[in-house]
Amino acid sequence: MTLQDTVRTFANRMYAYRVEKKMTQEELADLLELDNSYVSLLERGARVPSLIALDKIAEVFGVQPQDLLVEPEKGKEKTFTQIELEYLITDGEPAVIDKIHRIMKILDEKE
């Protein structure tokens, strides 16, 4: 994969996550504390984010930075909800992880 391919993947994934979260570019820019025109350039693949910006974007979407840079393998695509839950479990606060665990146990008991 070339750098240009990675930039295109990032742009497509960023756009898809933003749309799935039902955010406008302006709302995302505000959350990231970035200029709206910069967010637009990132989504078009006309700019490459800094590592700091990449990390902030991933945090806003509740995903790992690599989820923005790599297309999932065919047949192994995850929904945004699955990716977000995976992020919460691996990088979430202990209290959040405990809540998720309690909810899972409750759901398991009802089956």
Per-residue pLDDT reduced to its tens digit, 37-76: 999 999 999 999 999 999 999 999 989 999 899 887 776 6
The full set of domain ranges for the chain reads: 3-110
Per-residue pLDDT reduced to its tens digit, 89-98: 777 788 888 8
Q: Report angle CA 81, 87, 91 to the nearest 5 degrees.
A: 155
Residue 78 reports pLDDT greater than 90 = no
47: number of Cβ within 10 Å? 16
**Domain 3-110 has what CATH class?**
mainly alpha
Q: Which pTM does this prediction carry?
A: 0.68
Provide, rounded to the nearest whole percent, the portion of the chain with pLDDT above 70.
94
Burial class (CB in 10 A: 0-12, 13-18, 19+), 94: exposed
Positive or negative torsion for Cα 28, 31, 32, 38: positive
pLDDT for 79 equals: 73
